[in-house]
Amino acid sequence: MASDAAEDIAACAALVQKADPDRFAATMAAKPAAREKLLPIYAFNVEVARAPWVTQESMIAEMRLQWWRDALEEIKAGGMVRRHEVVTPLALVLDGESSALLDQLIEARRWDIYRDPFEDAAHFERYLEQTSGGLMQVAAQALGTCAPEEAQAVGYALGLANWLKAIPALEEAKRVPLVDGRPEAVAALAEAGLARLKRARTSRKAVSAAAGQAFFAAWQAEAILRQAAREPERVAAGALGMSEFGKRAGLMWRALSGRW
């Protein structure tokens, strides 16, 4: 059984490393005990995030997402859980509340299947809160004590930064990624993300050192959002991001200091 568990964690690690290398690097900056909890959560996120994109058939995409919803229901029920390299270790990490949060994440991801624009700014905000915000809350609370609003704020900032980086690819895929794509609107959106991150940092005492390791994943968010706020034209040009040296140095500093 111990061998199976180790193999599952290794499979989760390989999945995250390939599909989400920045989050994988942040996970490796955490302590080994934290990695064993974070990797199944992030592997789940990879599987769900890519489900709407691996097929052109909306019904098949819906079925893929439903498979994961059914797996979460099994975990939440506390009985027999299907054998799967991600689901099996995930069941050891989640409780009822976190299972419900990840179910909301899946429901929000249904937007990715279709080409309808967001209904309004509130819909876009809710999408980021339920996807990146919910994921961060689950990750942080799996590691230790963390106020939900702090995790949500940091997760939202990370989600927004990643979303802005993905704008060119989303547009190429015929999606409508922003409610208002004007430069001034994009700058305001980035400023709002920075404000959430700032508010979270004023309440660091609500986040234990153990839980704070989940926040390493957001180590680039502030720099990216500042770029978008100062030069919103970078978004459409696909020119957001840090240098490799800056990325490595920033993550190393956070790992050594424990600050986020």
CA distances from 21 to 28, 39, 157, 225 (A): 10, 12, 18, 20
Average pLDDT over residues 70-95: 96
Residue 78 has pLDDT above 80, yes or no: yes
Give tens-digit pLDDT for 20-60: 999 999 999 999 999 999 999 999 999 999 999 999 999 99
- What pTM was computed for the model? 0.96
Give tens-digit pLDDT for 185-202: 999 999 999 999 999 999
Contact 18, 47 (CB under 8 A): no
- Candidates 3, 76, 6; CA nearest to 40 is 6
Which pLDDT score is estimated for 197?
97
Average pLDDT over residues 15-21: 98
Mean pLDDT of the chain: 96
CA distances from 141 to 105, 189, 250 (A): 16, 27, 24
Which pLDDT score is estimated for 241?
95
Structure confidence at residue 1 as a pLDDT band (50, 70, 90): low
Rounded CA-CA distance 2/168 in Å is: 44
Contact 183, 233 (CB under 8 A): yes
Residue 139 has pLDDT above 80, yes or no: yes
CA distances from 83 to 9, 39, 40, 71, 89 (A): 14, 17, 14, 10, 9
Average pLDDT over residues 87-114: 97
- Candidates 202, 175, 179, 200; CA nearest to 189 is 179
